[in-house]
């Protein structure tokens, strides 16, 4: 196949790079979600393009009546040059915003093209030039240089990056020179390369994902644990309470949660401790506010500070008292093991889905093929699902039910933590939920949505009413789909005989803004749209409903679980157990917001720490920028700024806030705050740190 070998070698290296090599990074790694059909497409498409370029070269050599030397080299040279041009063009398009990391690589690729062209004008190729168009040299130069500069050394000095790149080029050219001088060895390497292509193809196609039951840490267990109830903690990522019909929202979004509420306690005034996944989940699992546990956004760690290993989590406490502890989470970014929330879980499943067009690495040619298919063949309604970097509720349920089967097979009680993420963008609910709630409106592409969010937050223009209506309808459709899957999960638990004696807690980590106070998304403030979340608790053996109107918080979940299962708290905590005697009307709770790395450039108001304290009908918001604002709140109806004639209320809440902060012990900085490359890519896919 004239000219096709270099492209086939590239296909093998590319698929091996984004799938096979992921398995070599340790137990918490996973293969990139390359779909077998997509791999097959690449292995057919790439050689076809290379062969086409080679045929064009052969026809050109005949028409130009070139001498035998250049004429024989033209097909392979043209095919190799086409690969260099295609790779460079794809990197230029898809690495927009990060092109400075590839500046030296573009210089290298330009020099490579010059070398290929120069070889055509010589009667015979030098030993050095003869090895360059070989099928493996150019793909290794392209992928290796991009990998070095964009992934391994993006923040290194120019000198260090240049030295590493020159070393890589020297190794490859020396190997090419040695092979060109030894025909016998070169023939053996060529056959070995063909075998490698076949192996990498089958590895990329057949490579299974880990089963998710990854041991995290050995926990000392009680020898004879008394009978205690099973615990199921469910977080609905990005779900604000005022968009749930169980909280009075006019659209019917949550019939399954309404059914649950008939045998549970519904808390009408629940406030998330933080406004982003990491901070609130750390509060749920430690019983501490973000100020105390330290796992939150920070200007010094723009992608977030992990939970320190010295903190004690709910999973660690229960495991030490004989519980099996497992987690199945959809948010494979901020709930990745790197961020410390897997502490105490004996098995932790943070896998991502395997989608047909999903791809992690932006500079590879497969990213360009993916874009061509997305925008050339798929409808706007079909595209966002290929951008979904987390498991859908149905996919998560399959893993959760398999985990429940394994947990229920043992006599020990279990803690199972489930995290669903469907309400997070790109807001692309499946049918019939999209048609029922969003009508014919097509989902907004993830790139367009990100740009709209940034424009609104910068203050370029407010969110237009028609845009808000479209986004809210699609968000509501995602919640309705998620609720339907929760209903399936609850039914399965009933059929398995696990429902009656189960402690079930359903809550959220944060909400989502749609233009309120010129905000979009989350992680930007302590606005009600971002911190007002649902909380429903079903106690074991109790089947009657109740409603509690006192202020409650994410930090109440851990003491509540310990109270129900009959275990003491090991240290004073700011939260309260929400069973038995409920919090009184004078209870106050906090919410915190820290500057998020990707939002800091959008304006001064997003560069401050905010803390809100809630008590009675009031909410005081303190900002590190020097201001305080007083609001009157009435969940689920939102908030309005308080009149000026309330100085006594303001002074009381300011004093109460300072008193509560003084009583807390601030967290010490985590020793390791920088996520690894895989976690950073997951965060970028979700819109953080982009």
Task: Identify whether residues 510 and 595 lie together within a single domain.
Answer: yes
- Percent of residues in the chain assigned helix, strand, coil, to nearest 5: 50, 10, 40
Domain containing 614 equals: 230-350+405-427+479-685
What DSSP designation does 617 have? T
> What is the reported pLDDT for 27?
36
Task: Identify whether residues 154 and 240 lie together within a single domain.
Answer: no
Q: Are 533 and 508 in contact (CB under 8 A)?
A: yes
Tell me which residue has tokens 């409603």: 547
Task: Identify whether residues 87 and 128 lie together within a single domain.
Answer: yes
Question: Which of 573, 579, 479, 582 shows the shortest CA–CA distance to 534?
Answer: 479
Alpha carbon distance 440, 419 (integer Å): 29
Alpha carbon distance 471, 445 (integer Å): 11
Within its chain, how far is the Cα of 463 from the centroid?
25
Decide if 135 is inside a domain.
yes
Task: Identify whether residues 174 and 258 lie together within a single domain.
Answer: no
Alpha carbon distance 2, 57 (integer Å): 9
The structural domain count of the chain equals 2
Alpha carbon distance 421, 673 (integer Å): 24
Residue ending a domain, choose from 206, 240, 271:
206
The CATH number of the domain holding residue 605 is 3.40.720.10
Residue ending a domain, choose from 145, 172, 206:
206
Task: Identify whether residues 678 and 531 lie together within a single domain.
Answer: yes
Task: Identify whether residues 616 and 679 lie together within a single domain.
Answer: yes
Which residues contact residue 448 at a Cβ distance below 8 angstroms, ignoring those fewer than 6 apart? none
Each residue's pLDDT tens digit, 564-576: 999 998 788 999 9
DSSP string, 225-276: PPP--EEEEEEETT--GGG-GGGT-SS---HHHHHHHTTSEEEEEEE-SSSS
> What is the reported pLDDT for 244?
98
Decide if 451 is inside a domain.
no
Q: Are 512 and 238 in contact (CB under 8 A)?
A: yes
What does residue 314 show for φ and ψ, rounded to 5 degrees? -55, -40
SS (H, E, C) 423-440: CCCCCCCCCCHHHHHHCC
SS3 323: coil
Each residue's pLDDT tens digit, 318-357: 999 999 999 999 998 899 888 999 999 999 999 877 665 5
SS3 301: strand
What DSSP designation does 532 have? B
Decide if 522 is inside a domain.
yes
Residue ending a domain, choose from 156, 172, 206:
206
Burial zone of 512 (CB within 10 Å; 0-12 exposed, 13-18 middle, 19+ buried): buried
Chunk the chain into consecutive blocks of 10 residues (it has 690) and report each block's average pLDDT, rounded to whole numbers.
71 69 45 60 79 77 60 72 88 76 86 78 57 70 87 83 89 74 58 57 52 47 66 98 96 97 96 96 97 88 86 96 96 90 94 65 77 64 63 93 94 96 89 83 76 90 91 95 97 95 97 93 92 97 90 97 93 90 88 87 88 95 93 85 80 92 70 56 56
> What is the reported pLDDT for 578?
95
Decide if 654 is inside a domain.
yes
Decide if 532 is inside a domain.
yes
- Across 417-446, b (16+ Cβ under 10 Å) vs e yields bbbbbbbbbbbbbbeebbebbbeebbbbbb
Alpha carbon distance 259, 347 (integer Å): 30
Decide if 214 is inside a domain.
no
Residue 249 structure tokens: 């929202």
> What is the reported pLDDT for 29?
40
> What is the reported pLDDT for 32?
45
Task: Identify whether residues 184 and 258 lie together within a single domain.
Answer: no
Task: Identify whether residues 139 and 240 lie together within a single domain.
Answer: no
First-to-last alpha carbon distance for the chain, in angstroms, is: 41
- Other CB atoms closer than 10 Å to residue 67's CB: what's the count? 10
Task: Identify whether residues 300 and 202 lie together within a single domain.
Answer: no
Task: Identify whether residues 147 and 235 lie together within a single domain.
Answer: no
Residue 370 structure tokens: 């993916």
Task: Identify whether residues 189 and 312 lie together within a single domain.
Answer: no
Decide if 174 is inside a domain.
yes
Alpha carbon distance 491, 480 (integer Å): 17
Task: Identify whether residues 79 and 182 lie together within a single domain.
Answer: yes
Burial zone of 195 (CB within 10 Å; 0-12 exposed, 13-18 middle, 19+ buried): exposed
Angle (CA) 651 656 660, round 5°: 155
Alpha carbon distance 322, 327 (integer Å): 16
DSSP string, 5-62: HHHHHHHHHHHHHHTGGGGGG-TT-------HHHHHHHHHHHHHHHHHHHHHHHHHHH
Question: Which of 21, 71, 80, 27 shows the shortest CA–CA distance to 50?
Answer: 80
Which residues contact residue 297 at a Cβ distance below 8 angstroms, ignoring those fewer than 6 apart? 276, 278, 279, 304, 305, 523, 594, 595, 596, 597
Decide if 439 is inside a domain.
no
């Amino acid at each position: 196949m004239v000219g096709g070998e270099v492209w086939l070698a590239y296909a093998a290296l590319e698929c091996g790079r984004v799938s096979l090599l992921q398995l070599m990074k340790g137990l918490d790694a996973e293969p990139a979600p390359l779909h077998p059909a997509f791999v097959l497409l690449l292995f057919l498409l790439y050689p076809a393009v290379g062969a086409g370029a080679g045929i064009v070269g052969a026809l050109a050599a005949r028409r130009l009546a070139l001498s035998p030397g250049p004429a024989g080299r033209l097909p392979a040279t043209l095919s190799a040059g086409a690969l260099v041009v295609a790779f460079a063009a794809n990197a230029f398009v898809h690495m927009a915003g990060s092109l400075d990391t590839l500046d030296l690589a573009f210089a290298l690729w330009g020099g490579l093209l010059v070398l290929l062209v120069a070889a055509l004008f010589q009667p015979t190729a030098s030993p050095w030039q003869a090895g360059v168009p070989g099928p493996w040299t150019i793909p290794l130069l392209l992928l290796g240089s991009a990998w070095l500069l964009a992934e391994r050394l993006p923040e290194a000095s120019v000198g260090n990056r240049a030295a590493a790149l020159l070393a890589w080029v020297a190794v490859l050219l020396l190997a090419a020179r040695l092979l060109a001088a030894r025909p016998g060895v070169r023939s053996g390497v060529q056959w070995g390369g063909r075998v490698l292509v076949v192996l990498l193809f089958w590895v990329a196609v057949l490579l299974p994902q880990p089963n998710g039951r990854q041991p995290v840490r050995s926990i000392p267990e009680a020898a004879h644990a008394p009978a205690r109830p099973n615990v199921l903690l469910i977080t609905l990522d990005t779900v604000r309470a005022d968009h749930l019909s169980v909280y009075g929202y006019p659209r019917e979004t949550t019939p399954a949660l309404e059914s649950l509420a008939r045998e549970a306690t519904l808390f009408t005034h629940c406030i998330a401790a933080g406004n982003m996944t990491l901070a609130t989940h750390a509060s749920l699992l430690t019983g501490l506010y973000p100020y105390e546990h330290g796992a939150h956004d920070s200007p010094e760690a723009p992608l977030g500070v992990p939970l320190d290993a010295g903190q004690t989590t709910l999973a660690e406490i229960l495991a030490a008292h004989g519980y099996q502890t497992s987690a199945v989470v959809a948010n494979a970014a901020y709930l990745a093991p790197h961020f410390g929330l897997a502490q105490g879980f004996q098995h932790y499943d943070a896998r991502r889905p395997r989608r047909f067009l999903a791809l992690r690495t932006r500079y590879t040619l497969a990213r360009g093929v993916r874009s061509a298919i997305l925008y050339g063949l798929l409808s706007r309604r079909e595209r966002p699902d290929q951008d979904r970097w987390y498991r859908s509720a149905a996919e998560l349920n399959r893993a959760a039910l398999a985990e429940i089967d394994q947990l229920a097979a043992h006599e020990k009680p279990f803690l199972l933590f489930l995290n669903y993420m469907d309400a997070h963008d790109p807001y692309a609910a499946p049918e019939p939920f999209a048609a029922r709630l969003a009508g014919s409106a097509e989902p907004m592409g993830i790139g367009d949505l990100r740009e709209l969010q940034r424009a609104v937050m910068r203050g370029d223009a407010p969110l237009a009413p028609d845009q808000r209506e479209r986004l809210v309808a699609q968000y509501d459709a995602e919640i309705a789909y998620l609720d339907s899957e929760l209903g399936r999960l609850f039914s399965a638990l009933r059929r398995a005989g696990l429902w009656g004696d189960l402690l079930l807690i359903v809550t959220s980590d944060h909400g989502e803004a749609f233009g309120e106070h010129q905000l979009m998304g989350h992680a930007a403030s302590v606005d009600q749209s971002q911190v007002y979340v649902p909380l429903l608790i079903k106690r074991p053996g109790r089947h009657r409903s109740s409603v509690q109107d006192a202020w409650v918080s994410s930090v109440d979940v851990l003491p509540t679980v310990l109270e129900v299962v009959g275990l003491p708290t090991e240290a004073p905590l700011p939260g309260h157990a929400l069973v038995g005697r409920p919090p009184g009307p004078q209870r106050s709770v906090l919410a915190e917001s820290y500057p998020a790395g990707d939002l800091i450039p959008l304006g001064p108001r997003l560069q401050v720490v905010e803390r809100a304290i809630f008590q009675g009908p009031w909410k005081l918001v303190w900002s590190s920028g020097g201001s305080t604002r007083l609001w009157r709140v009435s969940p689920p109806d939102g908030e309005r700024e308080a009149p000026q004639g309330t100085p006594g209320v303001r002074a009381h809440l300011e004093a109460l806030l300072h008193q509560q902060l003084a009583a807390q012990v601030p967290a010490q900085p985590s020793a390791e705050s920088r996520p690894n490359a895989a976690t950073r890519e997951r965060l970028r896919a979700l819109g953080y740190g982009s």
